[in-house]
Structure 1
Amino acid sequence: MQIFDSIPASLIPWIDSQKVFWVATAPLSEDGHVNVSPKGCFDKTMNVIPDNESDARKPTSRAVWYEDFTGSGNETISHLRENGRITVMFTAFEGPPQILRLYGTGKVYEFGTPEYRGLLPPERRQPGSRAVIWVDIHKVITSCGYSIPFFTYKAPRVRLHKFAIPREQADYDASSESTLELSRPEKGIKSYWKVKNIKSIDGLPGLSSAFESPDPPTNWNSSSKAPEIVATQDDETLPTPVVQGSTPSPELGSSGLGNLLFGFGFGVLVGGIAVRYATR
């Protein structure tokens, strides 16, 4: 195990290459629910901020931020609003084993805030993006990860993108209406946020302004990303399970099958001759 005050320069490219990470938060209440959320990476979801005072050739980092996507809950946002504590974890699934944890204090920049707009302008944000989570890091720890299995990356999952695109487009199309109520369609993403994302499972406040923001979401009808996303089909088929302890049957080609039949026939012939001589 190694402990650092900031992210070493050698780990930044590795972080940038990751396809998934986890964030852990918890409320202050003793009976509150500790939360761990997996995060998939799409087009620079996770961003490492180089330190201004570090060597430009070997930049270190004391801050990261990631794009937070719409979900049926918002535990991370609620916990950060209450106490700011957060741990971000990365795990190596290929190459040398490694686990990296970033311990820090998090801030929430909701959709429609100046900080959000500065980091995620309409042309950069992903469908379903509801906030930026900024983490100021005070401790970095690496550990072995020797027991973590290998996995081969297949593809990003775009089901959430497909869920969000029509809802965000509904909000965008209604954004020219004169009243706020008219500009928040029932099936828009902002209505979803107001229903699903205002409290944690422990009752802590969640999103507070994104659903009231006058900023329209991205106009996906004019985006070059949307058609590609809509055309993509997630392969959600499960692999064929392998029964524990079973040995796969070898596959026989035409030559193997011929050899098997020849051996069987030869054995029958020899056996028949032996029986004839034995009964004389």
Structure 2
Amino acid sequence: MSRIQQVFEQARARHRAAFVAYVCAGDPDFETSVEVCRALLANGVDILELGVPFSDPLADGLTNQLAAQRALESGMTAARVFELVKRVREFSQAPIVFYTYYNLVFSNGVDAYVRAARAAGVDGILTLDLPPEEAGEVTAACRTHGVDTVFIIAPTTPDDRIPAIAKATTGFIYYVSREGVTGVRDQVASNIPQAVARIRAKTNLPMVVGFGIGTRAQVAEVAAHADGVVVGSALVNCVRENLADRSRIAPAVAARAADLSAGAQRAKA
């Protein structure tokens, strides 16, 4: 059983949804990023989703675009992202999932990239712009090297595509609750219960919901239906808001993560 599978089993046993936190690797610099990861994993985060900084992050809103820009300007490279994972592995064995784009995987050689990710300590890979129908090389490499695959289902995904997406997935389904890009919203999407039921009718894989979730109340609202809840921009904002004094970034992230993750607890039946 993979670490990702273990997290979802443990969460179910504890009557909660798994709390998944997204931050960009290397934002705003390598050492601060290590401390941000430490703060997250010490404050209720079950799965760490690391954005691999990319110059053209088409699925990301302004908050995460600027995070990627800060990381790249600080000197983050593919090799440095792997090094960051190795540093995190010195203090945590929590699952780490890469949130990345296909060009970053392809340009390094798919098998070589997945092998290096696994060697560093990565548990899963979500390639945002790679549909499962074209992901054969990636899924094969992940199968060879013991890395879970994560694929996206959107509100616009037809029912007849869900089985194909599920077949390519070994980690969890990521349901993007809104059309468009990442970013905090005032309210979560209103159709999440129906969307979760629609997907669960086609697969038994764990399903997390992300995009637009940024408060404890919103986490609780989604956790009532999904196996996991993803928060990104609300945490990345803690980095941006404290750039003037970077020693304050990790404590700010810790406080926000602790508050958000509390929302993942469900009332016992």
Structure scoring higher RCO (CA < 8 A, sep ≥ 6) equals 2
Q: Shared fold (TM-score greater than 0.5)?
A: no
Pick the structure with more strand per residue: 1
**Which structure has the larger Rg over C-alpha atoms?**
1
Higher helix share: 2
With the shorter chain as reference, the TM-score category is under 0.3
Q: State the TM-score, normalizing by the size of structure 2.
A: 0.23
